[in-house]
Amino acid sequence: MAVQSVKGIQSQHVAACIKHFAANNQELNRDSVNTIVDERALREIYFPAFKAAIQQGNAYTIMSAYNKLNGYWCFENDLLLNKVLKNEWGFKGVVISDWAGTHHTVAAANNGLDIEMGQADRGENLLDFDWWQFK
């Protein structure tokens, strides 16, 4: 379903955004939970639909999950975003945070996040930009 959904959405000249990458397996406390998953389970259970949506569906965007995965926030997880997604799977699109989901802007940018959607003022903005000036 993931591949066909992406292809259908993008056939209408709209970028599909697949989410929430990865191991987003609970709603309660999803913004604070540390999901512990071994590599085999990641590759056999959690990754296949994402991998197919990227490699077969050619999804333009992907959104990271709020949770931590094995001790690292998904928005700033080098293994997820750089090593697996971009290097291993060859993703050339844009990695987006969920709204106000990042915890460390610089760490997220250094570990594969491309666009941070909203955030609390943590004093570590990469660019001070007021989106609302374009109303």
- Active-site residue flag, 114: no
Which residue is catalytic, options 31, 78, 98, 114? Answer: 98
Q: Is the peptide bond before 22 cis (omega within 30 degrees of 0)?
A: yes
d(CA 2, CA 18): 8
Termini Cα distance of the chain:
36
d(CA 81, CA 91): 9
Q: Which residue has the tokens 């085999």?
A: 40
Which active-site residues does the annotation give?
98
